[in-house]
Chain A
């Protein structure tokens, strides 16, 4: 490792240990790291968005005299009236515009991706093979879980039995999700520990060499 790499890794290792210090209890080292990462992240996104979206969609459009972009720029500037007590109501116009466009675009997208696509992936042709039986189980489980979400009817009798199967299905889903999340976090932990181990070995080699 070069001297520069050792220095950068030292910074990363110190910050990693500062975050791990939270395991003992909340302390100034953790608070320092927490605030530092908030500032660095805000600064990173500020410059990234400035150099990509702001430059392309505000500065360049104005330089190229694309006058249609004056409307969203004025609406965007109207957002800043939020700081004024008397004129903060003006900021509702850009918010309304943003919300209106976003909701209008979202309805068909949700309908296609979250409803139609899911239903068509569930309702595949049945047969009596291993995969086919699994498909039948998936269809029954999806229907039972959807029945569980139907709260306009009391969950008693046959409906209660169906919704009970639904909640068992959901619990298996939550359990699987939980297991996967834990494994993901543990994998990250292992990665950080390996980083620290590699860093200390590299540091020792650097000074020995």
Chain B
């Protein structure tokens, strides 16, 4: 009851959804549409659970003087966005909700990603010491690619050609091989889940 029925749930729903793909009919389209909608509805409640869990943790932290300020900041940010977005039309441009989105969320996220430029450069300095042939190839490729946007005078055209070839040929081949590998791995994992071999999603008692 606690473990067996959910496994049968996965087996039946997984096989039904797999079969419906190969049966082009109105019924299978209906099933696909409803199943997708149902998954979205379950996902919405799961998301609400996540938000509830976040708020519960932060409210608990409010009692700790060391963490209270940061927990309060998070809760302030959360509730101000909730209250300014209570009506659907408030989510459009020109309302406070979108002003907060454009002037808090966008600049901070962009700056955090920009910050990574420094750390990527520092990591590269340590990782790119050309000790082996493989590391040298990685270093050279990255170097040629990074020079792409820099005006190099007479060798600019040569560099552009080299970058174009690297991106279109060996890089493309590597990305395709990885994509095929990831795809086959994902299919194998899906089959393992449907057959009940992989059960980690059920957690522990």
A40-B100, A100-B10 known; A181 and B120 CB under 8 Å?
Answer: yes
The 8 Å CB contact of B179, one of A32, A54, A98, A114, is: A114
Docked-complex contact B9 and A107, CB < 8 angstroms = no
A15-B104, A79-B45, A100-B10 known; A118 and B73 CB under 8 Å?
Answer: no
Distance between Cα atoms of A114 and B138 in the complex (Å): 25
Docked-complex contact A57 and B117, CB < 8 angstroms = no
A-B contact pairs, 5 of them (CB 8 A): A32-B70, A35-B77, A53-B44, A57-B41, A175-B140
Docked-complex contact B141 and A172, CB < 8 angstroms = yes
Docked-complex contact A42 and B54, CB < 8 angstroms = yes
The 8 Å CB contact of B45, one of A80, A134, A177, is: A80
16 more CB-based (< 8 A) A-B contacts, given A99-B201, A115-B183, A170-B174: A23-B115, A36-B73, A43-B79, A47-B97, A49-B47, A53-B40, A105-B35, A106-B190, A107-B190, A114-B182, A138-B172, A148-B177, A175-B141, A176-B170, A178-B124, A185-B113
A115-B180, A178-B124, A188-B114 known; A43 and B82 CB under 8 Å?
Answer: yes
> For the complex, is A157 an interface residue (Cβ under 8 Å from B)?
no
Distance between Cα atoms of A33 and B74 in the complex (Å): 9
Please give the distance in Å from A131's CB to the nearest CB on chain B.
9
- Residue interface mask B43-70, A partner, CB < 8 A = 1: 1111101010010000000000000011
Docked-complex contact B176 and A37, CB < 8 angstroms = no
Distance between Cα atoms of A125 and B30 in the complex (Å): 40
Please give the distance in Å from A142's CB to the nearest CB on chain B.
5
Give me the interface of A with B, judged by CB distance under 8 Å: 8-9, 11-13, 15-16, 19-20, 22-23, 31-33, 35-49, 51, 53-55, 57-58, 68-69, 71-73, 75-77, 79-80, 82, 89, 92-108, 110-111, 113-115, 118-119, 121-122, 134, 137-138, 141-142, 145-146, 148-149, 166-183, 185-186, 188-189, 191-192, 195
The 8 Å CB contact of B176, one of A15, A69, A95, A122, is: A122
| Chain A-chain B contacts (Cβ-Cβ < 8 Å), number | 372
Please give the distance in Å from A177's CB to the nearest CB on chain B.
8
Docked-complex contact B183 and A182, CB < 8 angstroms = no
Main DSSP-derived SS at the B contact region: helix
Please give the distance in Å from B95's CB to the nearest CB on chain A.
11
Docked-complex contact A75 and B107, CB < 8 angstroms = no
Docked-complex contact B190 and A182, CB < 8 angstroms = no
Docked-complex contact A43 and B99, CB < 8 angstroms = no
Docked-complex contact A175 and B142, CB < 8 angstroms = yes
Within 8 A of A (CB), among B148-205: 148-149, 165-184, 186-187, 190-191, 193-194, 201-203, 205
Distance between Cα atoms of A189 and B112 in the complex (Å): 9
Please give the distance in Å from B191's CB to the nearest CB on chain A.
7
Residues of A near B2 (CB, < 8 A) are 89, 92
Docked-complex contact A192 and B111, CB < 8 angstroms = yes
The 8 Å CB contact of B18, one of A89, A104, A182, is: A104
